[in-house]
Structure 1
Amino acid sequence: MLGTIFLSELVGMALLIILGCGVVANVALSGTKGHNGGFLMVNIGWGLAVFVGVLTSAASGGHINPAVTLGLAVDGAMKGEAIDFADMGVRFAAQMIGAIIGAIIVWASYKTHFDDEPEAANKLGVFATGPQTRSFGWNVVTEAVATFVLVLSVISFKNFGAMTAPNPAGGELTSLGNLAPLAVALVVVAIGASLGGPTGYAINPARDLGPRIAHAILPIRGKGASDWAYSWVPVVGPMIGGLVAGLVGAAFLPGITL
């Protein structure tokens, strides 16, 4: 079971990064077909990346985000469920490894454009987030708030998907269920459009840390530094947001059966 979870989360996370960091590369790097496509293109691309990532990791529940894993665990614990730390550890490991693999694939896909790009900041921006205004405390707040919105939405969809209503033809109808990946994708687009401006909305520790590690180890021409001084912000902020969302979800979104 843990092996299935590991592979599912790894594949889903790798695809998330391939498409998510891929759209950033298409917009940011010189000479690409999508160069200067704009922030909205990035928002939509990341939303669709989440959609594909969640669909392809359905066997493990489609977490593909340590903050989501933490938030769901806290939500369950507050409702009397035991926390499975082995499960959480396997998910965290798979998410990080998948993120690194996905980032390496993006670099290989855009290799010539990385070589031709004159700005080191644009190269790093493909892999990792960075703030428009560097203020670590407020950057953490932005990431925490944005991730809170994401994880609380995931908990809401989980509860809503569990709701059932009488089916005139017999049996039960699931209210959301199979549409949950699309719903999460739309939330990610909304977060990017509304809260993405200050920090670039990592909202996922593995999404930022894994590709940042890839940036550090890959032989990228003229890549510059990996900005490790900022690297803790898109890890700590999202984990705080996920934790608080789990607590709030348990208190105010208990799940209702119709």
Structure 2
Amino acid sequence: MDGLGIDFVSELVGTALLVLLGTGVVANVALTKNKGFNGGFLMVNIGWGLAVFAGVIVSYASGAHLNPAVTLGLWASGAKEFGQGVAVDFLSIITYIGAQLLGAIIGAVFTWLAYKQHFDEEPEPANKLGVFSTGPAIRSYGWNVITEIIGTFVLVFVVIGFGRQPAGGGLAALGALPVALLVIGIGASLGGPTGYAINPARDLGPRIAHALLPIKGKGGSDWSYSWVPVVGPIIGGVIAGLVSSPLLPLLPGFPK
């Protein structure tokens, strides 16, 4: 298998694990008769952070993007290579994003299997959909997009900054723990308005799974909102990449 093939498998497996554990903590909190029922938003934040930790650990070979916003942000920052020395070009970008989306669908399917009986027992369709995808506390598409842009900008800007520290070499080389803590921090600080997708694959992949799976009493998949957690994170990630190259080197103590 060539470098791009290894990167594809790495991103697929890492994103599947990320989404399995991330949507899994939401299922534990949101679905009736679970031991974690009503565990609260902070439990969800911590669960998603640890999901990122696990996904990064297993996808070291590809640089552990696990997120189209990260992939596009690195491209916008002027990165020359991904993962196994793979050149940054249209083919590698599409390969990464395709792997991330497919992995997210797979992870969501396994969450449904793990919580099948609880999905069957849950009376509220909105709680079932909330396991798979994000939704706004106050529906206002423009402001919801702005929230996702800001949250994803923080994620990608800091991730690029991590990757440019002396250890270098991408997310996996710097260690998964700082990225996990960053995701917990974003959720605790900026996650309230929209549920902080900050990752197009994390939202779109499970939403597709929700639409396709035979979930008892599931209701609709809220496609009218589905573009927000895709467009907002992409914009935020690209902006972070564009400003990181000229801005990060100006910060005191940043490696030149």
Is TM more than 0.5 here?
A: yes
Q: Specify the structure having the higher radius of gyration (Cα).
A: 1
Map of 1:66-215 to 2, 5 A cutoff? 66-76=68-78, 83-162=88-167, 178-215=173-210
User: Partner of 2:153: helix, strand, or coil?
Assistant: helix
Cα-to-partner distance string for 1:156-177 (whole Å, 9 max, x where unaligned): 00011446xxxxxxxxxx9x97
Q: Is contact 1:203-1:238 (8 Å) kept?
A: yes
Residues 58, 177 of structure 1: CA spacing in aligned structure 2 closer, same or farther, 3 A cutoff?
closer
- How far does residue 254 in structure 1 lie from its aligned partner after superposition? 3.8
User: Partner of 1:76: helix, strand, or coil?
Assistant: coil
Q: Is contact 1:67-1:205 (8 Å) kept?
A: yes
- How far does residue 252 in structure 1 lie from its aligned partner after superposition? 0.9
Residues 135, 257 of structure 1: CA spacing in aligned structure 2 closer, same or farther, 3 A cutoff?
closer
* RMSD of equivalent CA atoms: 1.8
Cα separation, 2, equivalents of 1:50 and 1:88: 21
Between the two proteins, the alignment pairs up a number of residues equal to: 244
Map of 1:39-50 to 2, 5 A cutoff? 39-50=41-52
Cα-to-partner distance string for 1:8-31 (whole Å, 9 max, x where unaligned): 000000000010000000000000
Cα-to-partner distance string for 1:157-208 (whole Å, 9 max, x where unaligned): 0011446xxxxxxxxxx9x974431111101000000000000000000000
User: Partner of 1:199: helix, strand, or coil?
Assistant: coil
Bigger mean CA offset, 21-30 vs 178-187: 178-187
Aligned residue number for residue 57 of structure 2: 55
Q: Is contact 1:162-1:177 (8 Å) kept?
A: no
Cα separation, 2, equivalents of 1:238 and 1:162: 27
Q: Normalization by structure 1: what TM-score?
A: 0.91
- How far does residue 83 in structure 1 lie from its aligned partner after superposition? 3.9
Aligned residue number for residue 83 of structure 2: none
- How far does residue 100 in structure 1 lie from its aligned partner after superposition? 0.2
Out of 228, 239, 247, the position equivalent to 1:244 is: 239
**Is the aligned partner of 1:227 residue 2:222?**
yes
Cα separation, 1, equivalents of 2:32 and 2:233: 31
Unaligned stretches of 5+ residues in structure 2? 81-86
Cα separation, 1, equivalents of 2:49 and 2:255: 29
Q: Normalization by structure 2: what TM-score?
A: 0.91
